[in-house]
Amino acid sequence: MNSVTVRVPAKVNLQLAVGPLRDDGYHDLVNVFHAVSIFDEVTATAKTGMSVRVEGESADQVPEGHENLAIKAALALAGHAGRSYGVNLLIRKAIPVAGGMAGGSADAAATLVACNELWGLGLPLEDLMEIAADLGSDVPFALLGGTAVGTGRGERLTPLDVAGTFHWVFALADGGLSTATVYAECDRIRQATGERVAWPQAAEPLLAALREGDAETLGTELRNDLQPAAVMLRGSLARTLDAGREHGALGSLVSGSGPTCAFLARSESHAGELAASLKDAGVARDVITAHGPVPGPIIV
Ligand code: ATP
């Protein structure tokens, strides 16, 4: 086999609870991850050495050297196998870059699956999950897909059973937001307001709404503790979120560290209408519809 292509979805956080700042500079998190039908594709082709090329959505903002998370994933997998394998990676991006939808993590997960196949390693998912956890806190979920609760730094995952399909609209913004900057702003706001930060916990009504396929309740339970920080750093997001509510979204929130905003619709047709209204309102660079949950990386 000379070449393997893997399709991998983006994620939105339905709940992102951020605990107090720890001494090591990280936060304990509770993350309800949900994989949605916006896909990057990674093609791994056998060659000597390691290289990566990026095409598509905001490709010019993605590094093509060894800082690319996909290359880091290929190197980590080769290291785990104890061999100096080579690969060329072609990433076709549709997931917004630095958009709070874990595009880099998705590409890393897709690369682990593609290279595991290309190099004939046959490693089980548990081994790939261990390598994924070392690459970044969103990479293990990107390998799993579906809907799951993540704790710790996001890497301890419990898959959730979800009834049916939820329909989403995503408003893409111009330019990204750095995840580290958004966490730092969150800490700054909390310090300035003297807010007592509770230990993060998954919200039971949100989990019940997912189990029951209850979009109406899910819409009211969407919660992102990073949202005030993302809105503080990018004031225009307040208008984008308001526009979603005005046009009948069941709920809205900033996705992860932003600046992408997610809106929950009643149905596929409602998602189409809501997307058209948001486009007309001119509150986003682009507006796309998607559904979730969807499975994790798939060899195509
Ligand atoms: P998260 O939601 O996990 O915080 P994000 O979706 O906000 O992440 P990414 O799209 O993963 O952000 O990109 C974050 C940064 O990582 C970008 O600024 C980009 O330069 C860098 N990067 C490295 N590798 C990749 C990759 N394969 N795809 C996208 N960005 C990458």
Question: Is residue 155 pLDDT above 80, yes or no?
Answer: no
* Mean pLDDT of all residues belonging to the chain: 96
- Looking at the domain assignment, is residue 137 inside a domain? yes
Asked if residue 201 and residue 104 are part of one domain, the reply reads no
Helices 69-81 + 103-118 axis angle, to 10: 40
Asked if residue 245 and residue 143 are part of one domain, the reply reads no
Question: Is residue 185 pLDDT above 90, yes or no?
Answer: yes
Tell me the whole-structure pTM to 2 decimals: 0.95
Look-up: residue for tokens 């090329």?
53
Question: Is residue 212 pLDDT above 90, yes or no?
Answer: yes
Last residue of a domain, one of 160, 192, 220: 160
- Looking at the domain assignment, is residue 298 inside a domain? no
Asked if residue 175 and residue 129 are part of one domain, the reply reads no
Asked if residue 193 and residue 133 are part of one domain, the reply reads no
| Residue 87 exposed, middle or buried by CB count within 10 Å (0-12, 13-18, 19+) | buried
Q: Which amino acid is at 37?
A: S
**SS3 state of residue 15:** strand
Integer angstrom CA distances of residue 177 from 6, 258, 268, 282? 27, 6, 29, 20
- Across residues 264-274, what is the average pLDDT? 98
- For residue 166, the surrounding DSSP H or E stretch is strand 166-172
- Beta strand 251-254 with 261-265 is antiparallel
**Residue 249, domain CATH:** 3.30.70.890
- Looking at the domain assignment, is residue 300 inside a domain? no
- Looking at the domain assignment, is residue 175 inside a domain? yes
pLDDT digits (tens, 9 = 90+) for 227-268: 999 999 999 999 999 999 999 999 999 999 999 999 999 999
Question: Is residue 5 pLDDT above 80, yes or no?
Answer: yes
pLDDT digits (tens, 9 = 90+) for 165-184: 999 999 999 988 999 999 99
**Per-residue confidence band for 105, with pLDDT thresholds at 50, 70 and 90:** very high
Asked if residue 56 and residue 40 are part of one domain, the reply reads yes
- The pLDDT, as a whole number, for residue 30 is 95
Look-up: residue for tokens 């393997």?
4
Last residue of a domain, one of 142, 160, 178: 160
Atom of ligand 1 nearest to the CA of 95: 10
Asked if residue 257 and residue 239 are part of one domain, the reply reads yes
- The pLDDT, as a whole number, for residue 153 is 75
Give dist(CA 193, CA 202) in Å, integer.
Answer: 24
Question: Is residue 25 pLDDT above 90, yes or no?
Answer: no
Give dist(CA 114, CA 110) in Å, integer.
Answer: 6
pLDDT digits (tens, 9 = 90+) for 54-103: 999 889 999 999 999 999 999 999 999 999 999 999 999 999 998 999 99
Q: Out of 40, 107, 138, 225, which one is annotated catalytic?
A: 138
Is 23 an annotated catalytic residue? no
To test ligand 1's pocket by mutation, which of 39, 72, 153, 179 has the most ligand atoms within 8 angstroms of CB? 179
Is 105 annotated for ligand binding? yes
**Residue 81, domain CATH:** 3.30.230.10
Is 72 an annotated catalytic residue? no
- Looking at the domain assignment, is residue 276 inside a domain? yes
Domains identified in the chain, total number? 2
**Per-residue confidence band for 190, with pLDDT thresholds at 50, 70 and 90:** very high
Asked if residue 9 and residue 133 are part of one domain, the reply reads yes
- For residue 185, the surrounding DSSP H or E stretch is helix 179-193
Q: Can you give the residue range of the structural domain that contains 116?
A: 3-160
Q: Quote the Cα angle for 234-257-29, to 5°.
A: 140
- Looking at the domain assignment, is residue 297 inside a domain? no
